Structure 1
Amino acid sequence: MDIYKDFKFENNETPKYVQLANYIKNMIDKRKIKEGDKLPTIRDLSKRLGVNNVTIVSAYNKLKLEGYAYQKVGSGSYAKRKEVASNFRKEYSNALKKLSMEILSEVVDFTGETTAEVLFPIDDLKNIINEVLERDGANALLSDNRNGYTNLIYTINKVFWDNNLNNEDIIIVSGAQQGIDIASKGILNINDNIIVEKPTYVGALSVFKWRKVNLFEVPIEEDGINLDKFEKILQKNEIKCFYTMSYFQNPTGISYSIEKKKRILDLAEIYDFYIIEDDYLSELIYENSLEYVPFKWLDKRDRVIYIKSFSKIFLPGIRLGYLVAPEIFRETLQNSKHNTDITTSSLMQRALESYISGQKWKKNIKDLNDEYIQRYTQMKSILDNEFGDILTYIDPRGGLNFYLTLKDDYRVNTKELFMSLKKRNVYITPGVMFFTSQNDGQDSFRLSFYQTDKERIEKGMRILKEEIISIVNNQRGY
C-alpha cells in the first residue's frame, strides 16, 4: 500500500515540508506507518511528490526533532511513535512532582531529583550572607558587571584556573542547565548538526531539541565515546559541536581517558567543530586512579566551551555556575546570557565568592567526599554481592550515580519496573529517559545516591531486587 499516493500539497501559507511532516506524523499516529518502518529515501520521495530534495530533508528533520523519526547512519530514516516515550516522561516528571516534603521521609529517592537532604552546612551559608551584607550593604543587591560579579570572576580564575584564563571569557550563569541553554542559543541554528553521547543528560537533549538541531548519537564506552563511530559521523556530516560530560557522565557515570580527550580535541580542529564540556561533578573523585584533567585544560586551540555548576557542591536550589567562552564566541555568548535573564543574583554571587576565596569550600568538598564515598562503597558492595546474576555496570569511581543494565535472564522493561517500585515508595530513573529513541534504554536504569542515606540505600536495594524478581517470575508464569 502506497500511503503517499493520495497526499497532495495544499496551496496555502504552510510550508510544504511542514505539510509533509504533519501528514507522515498523522500516518504514524494512525499506525499506517508502523514503528521501525523505513521512510522512503529522499530522492525517491522527492520524485514521487514532485518537489526538491530540500523539502524532504526539512520534513524528515522536523519529524526527528519532534520524536517521530530517527536516523541510522548510512541506512536512512525510520519511523517511531512519539507518545509512548513522551507520555512516560510526563508520568515520570509528575510522579516526582507529587512527592511532598511530608512523605519524603518514607521515600527512597534513587533519582536524585528531590531535596529531602541538604549536606551543605546551613550555618556557614547564614554567616557568609551576613558577612556580605555587612561588608557591602545595599551594593550586595546590585550587579557591577553584566557577565557576573567581578570579584567572583577573578576568584574563579585564580582558585580553579591559576589565572590561566582571560577574565573576559568567564560568564556567571544560573547553573549548568542555563549554561547549556546559553551555549546552544549562542552557537546553534536550526538544522545544525551536533553530536551527543548515547545515552546522555536529558536536560541537554531537551535544550537541543528546542533549538531544532539534528542530533547524532555516539555510543559511550568505558573511557568515553566510540571514536571510530564518532569520526565516521564527522566524515559524512558537517558537525557544529559535540556535547560531552567529561567526568561521571550522566547517566553512565563514565569518565573520559586523557587519550580520548586529546584525540577528540585533534578531531575538533581537523573537522572544525566545538566542544561543549559540561563539568558538573568532577570534585567527587573517589579513586586515585582517576586523574582530573578536563578538556578545557588540554584546549590549546580554543575549541572548548566549558560549563561548571556549583549547585551540587555549594547548595542545592541555589543555581550558580560559570561558562568559559572561546574568544570567537565571547560576545555572542555574553549577549545570549544577557538576553536570557540579564544578570544572576548579585547577593548569591558575592556569597559564593566569599565561600571560595575564604577556602571554606575545601572543607565542604572533603566532607561531601567523605559522605558520598561511603554511600558509593555501600551501593557498590550490594550490587556486587546481591545483584551479580541480575545486572551489569561500569564502576564510575566517583560521582553520584550507578548506571545498570539487566542481564538477559532478568531483562524487564524498566518503565514497568519504575511503576512497580513507585507503589513501594522507591524511585529510579529508567534508561529510556536518556535516549532520543524510545527503543533504547528499556533494559537499563540509573540509581543515584545523592538523596539516600545508608539506611535508605539498604532498604531501597532490597525492594529493588524483590521487584525485579517478581516481574521476571510473572513473565515466566510462576
Structure 2
Amino acid sequence: MRKYSEIAADIERKRAAGDLRPGQKLPSVREAAETYGCSISTVMRAYAELEKRHAIYSIPQSGYYMVGEEEEDTVADDGSIDFASSSPDLNVFPYRDFQHCLNKAIDTYKYQLFTYGDPRGLGALRETLVNHLADDQVFVKAKQIAVTSGIQQALHTLAKMPYPNGRPAILVEQPSYNLFLRFLEAEGLPARSIARTATKIDLLQLEELFRGGEIKCFYTMSRHHNPLGTSFGVREKKAIARLAAKYDVYVLEDDYMGDLGDRQGFDPIFAYDRSGHVVYLKSFSKMIFPGLRIGAVVLPESLEGSFHAYNQLNGAALLSQAALDIYIKNGMYERHRDKIYRQYEARIETLHEALKKHNDAGLLKVADVRSGLYTTFSMPHTVNLERVVERLKRRGVLVASGKAFYLSDYLAREKFLRISISRARPERIHEGVQAILEEVKRGIHA
C-alpha cells in the first residue's frame, strides 16, 4: 500500500474508532508530515483522497475537518402518509455539517458579520455563486448577483418594480406557484394568464401575449414546475428566450429546484438568453432547509438599478450567507445534493411502480416526472376534488388540491392533486397511492 493510502486508511480507522469526531480539525499538513514521517505532498495527496470520499472537507486559510456522519432517521412518524408537504425531508437535513459551517463562518468572517454589509449580499458568497451557477450554464459576474432573504422577497420586488419597457402586466402560467399568485392578488397587481399543462405550453399564444404590448415580465418555472413537476424541453426554452428578445419582455425564471434535475442536457432558459431579458432566480431552501431563507437573483444590467431601489427589505442574515459560502466551497452542498437527488429519484420510481400496480384501469392521469419533488394526479371532472382531499385526510393521507395553484378568477382549471414525494416514506407510498385511488373511485360513484 502506498504511503498516502496508509495515511488515509489510518484517518478513517480513527474516525471509525471515535478518536476523530465529526467537525474535529485535523493536524495541519506540516504536522501530519512529521507524524507520519513523510513529505508534505504525500499528506496533501492523502487529504485530497479523503476529500474525494467526502470523509473530510477543507476551509481556505483554516485547515481540514472531519465530515459529519450520515444523518439517521430521527423524526418521529406521526402515522400519516404525507404527499402534501413541499419542505425537504426532515431526516435528510444536513444539521451537523451546516452547524460546523456556522461555527467556521464566525471564525472566518468574524469582522464582516458585525457590519451592515453590502445590500447585494456577502461579497465572498456572490463570488462563490459565480462558480456554483456556472455548473448550470449560468455564466455571470458577481456584480449581477443579489442575495435575498428567500426567493419570495425577490419575487415581490420584481413584481412591483418598473421595467424599461414601461408595461404594467405580469404574465403567469396557470397553474403556478400558489404563494406568488396570492401575492399578486393581495397587491392588486395586473396579471395575465397562459395555460400550461403537464406536456406543453402554447408558444403561439405566448407570442400573441408578448406581442400585445401589456406584458412587462413573464413568470415561469422552466424546470420542475410547481405544481406540475414537469420541465420544458430545449425547444420551449429557446423559443421563450427568442420571444423575450423579440418583444422586449423580461422572463422571471424561478429555478428553485434546478439542482435536483439531470445534470446533463438540463440547462435553464438563461443559458439561451442572448439579449439580457432573463432574470434567473435560485433558492437554497428546498435543498438544505427552509429556515435558511437565502435566495440568489441574477439581474440583467438593465434591471439592476430598479431592483436595488425597490428591494427595501433586509437581505439574508450575514451569518447564514457566510455559512452557505463555506458549505458550498468545501463540497458539502454537492455531496448533500447528490444524496437527496438519489433518495427523491428512488421515491418517484416507487410512486410510478405503485401507480402501475394500482392504477391499471387508468383512472388517474399522471405526469411523467422522474426527478424533482412533484407530480400531479389528474382525475375525472365528475369527482369532487375537495371532498376527496378531506376524506384522504381523515384516512391519514395528506395531499394538496390543485385548486390553490390558480388565480381566483381563472375558470379553465384542471382537476388534479399535487403529489410531493419529499416527505413520503418509501415503504408507505404503495399504501398511499392505493388510498387515493379508492377515494377517487368512491367520488365517481357518489
For normalisation by structure 1, the TM-score amounts to 0.72
Q: 1:190 to 1:458 in 2, by over 3 A?
A: farther
- Residue of structure 1 equivalent to 2:357: 385
Aligned pairs (5 A) from 1:388-399: 388=360, 389-399=362-372
Counterpart of 1:413 (choices 384, 403, 425) is 384
Q: Which is worse superposed, 462-471 or 424-433?
A: 462-471
The Cα shift of 1:191 comes to: 8.6
| 4+ long deviations beyond 6 Å | 101-104, 188-191
Where does 1:232-311 land on structure 2 (aligned, <5 Å)? 232-285=208-261, 291-311=265-285
Superposition map of 1:345-424 within 5 A: 345-388=317-360, 389-407=362-380, 411-424=382-395
SS in 1 for 2:326: helix
Q: CA deviation at 1:173?
A: 1.0
Residues in 1 aligned to 2:94 and 2:193: alpha-carbon distance in whole angstroms:
40
State how far apart, in whole Å, the 1-side matches of 2:87 and 2:134 are. Answer: 32
Amino acid at match of 1:429: A
Are 1:186 and 2:161 an aligned pair? yes
Partner SS, residue 264 of structure 1: helix
- Quote the Cα distance in structure 2 between the aligned partners of 1:182 and 1:382: 42
Residues 269-327 of structure 1 deviation map (CA, whole Å, 9 limit, x = unaligned)? 222110000001111125x7x72211112111110111100111122321111001111
User: Does 2:328 align with 1:340?
Assistant: no
Opposite residue 179 of structure 1, the aligned amino acid is A
**Given that residues 167 and 214 in structure 2 are in contact (C-alpha distance below 8 angstroms), is that contact kept between their aligned partners in structure 1?**
no
User: 1:222 offset after TM fit, Å?
Assistant: 4.9
Question: Structure 1 residue 134 and structure 2 residue 107: aligned?
Answer: yes
Q: Is 1:313 the equivalent of 2:287? A: yes
Distance in 2 separating the partners of 1:323 and 1:348: 17
Task: Check the 8 A contact 2:197/2:228 in 1, yes or no.
Answer: no
Distance 1:115 1:271 in 2: 38
CA displacement at 1:370 relative to structure 2: 1.2
Structure 1 pair 457–141 and aligned structure 2 pair: CA distance change class (3 A): farther
**C-alpha contact (below 8 Å) 2:167/2:216 kept by paired residues:** no
Q: Give the aligned partner of residue 176 of structure 1.
A: 151
- Give 2:399's aligned residue: 428
1:122 equivalent in alignment to 2:95: yes
The one-letter code sitting in structure 2 at the alignment partner of 1:401 is Y
- Residues 191 and 214 in structure 1, CA contact (< 8 A), matched pair in contact too: no
Question: How far, CA to CA, are the matches of 1:312 and 1:118 in structure 2?
Answer: 14
- The residue that corresponds to 2:177 in the other structure is 201
Q: What aligned pairs does 1:66-215 form with structure 2 within 5 A after superposition?
A: 105-113=78-86, 117-137=90-110, 139-161=112-134, 164-187=139-162, 192-215=168-191
Tell me if structure 2 keeps the 8 A contact 1:190–1:212: no
Give 2:370's aligned amino acid.
R
- 1:448-463 matched pairs, under 5 angstroms: 448-463=420-435
Unaligned residue ranges in structure 1 (runs of 5+): 1-100
For residue 193 of structure 2, what is the aligned residue in structure 1? Answer: 217
Q: Look up the equivalent residue of 1:463 and give its one-letter code.
A: A
**How many equivalent residue pairs?**
368
- SS of residue matched to 1:283: helix
- Cα shift at 1:235: 3.3
CA separation of 1:425 and 1:441: change in aligned 2, threshold 3 A: farther
SS in 1 for 2:290: coil
What's the secondary structure of 2:225's corresponding residue? coil
Contact persistence 2:379–2:416 (CA under 8 A) = yes
- Is the Cα–Cα contact under 8 Å of residues 195 and 241 in structure 1 kept in the other structure? yes
Identity percentage over the alignment? 27
Q: What's the secondary structure of 1:105's corresponding residue?
A: coil
C-alpha deviations, 1:143-168, integer Å up to 9, x for none? Answer: 42111000000000123227931222
Distance 1:220 1:102 in 2: 37
- Report the CA distance shift for 1:235/1:130 in structure 2 as closer, same or farther (over 3 A): closer
Q: Please identify, of 395-404 and 183-192, the stretch whose mean Cα deviation from structure 2 is larger.
A: 183-192
Shift of 1:415: 1.3
Q: 1:141 to 1:460 in 2, by over 3 A?
A: farther
Q: What's the CA shift for 1:265? A: 1.5
Question: In 2 relative to 1, CA 235–121 (structure 1 residues): closer, same or farther, beyond 3 Å?
Answer: closer
Partner of 1:29: none
Take 2:232 and 2:88, find their aligned partners in 1: how far apart are those partners? 29
1:394 is displaced (CA, Å) by 2.1
Looking at structure 2, the residues matched to 279 and 204 of structure 1 have their Cα atoms a distance apart, in angstroms, of 14
Partner of 1:12: none
Q: Is residue 88–residue 289 contact of structure 2 (8 Å, CA) maintained in 1?
A: no
Q: Comparing 276-285 with 232-241, which one deviates more in the overlay? A: 232-241
* 2-structure distance, mates of 1:190, 1:301: 17
| Most deviating of 140-149 and 171-180 | 140-149
Indicate if the aligned counterparts of 1:421 and 1:427 stay in contact, CA closer than 8 A: yes
CA deviation string 1:175-199 (max 9, x = no partner): 2222211211223799922221121
Measured in 2, the distance between the counterparts of 1:151 and 1:184 equals 28
Q: Distance in 1 between matches of 2:367 and 2:432?
A: 20
From the superposition, tell whether residues 160 and 102 of structure 1 become closer, same or farther in structure 2 (CA, over 3 Å): closer
**Aligned partners of 1:258, 1:159: CA distance in 2, in Å?**
22
For 1:251 and 1:184, how far apart are their aligned partners in 2? 20
Distance 2:229 2:253 in 1: 15
Alpha carbon RMSD of aligned pairs, Å? 2.5
Ranges in structure 2 where 5+ consecutive residues have no aligned partner: 1-73
Return the alpha-carbon distance in structure 1 between the equivalents of residues 89 and 142 of structure 2: 37
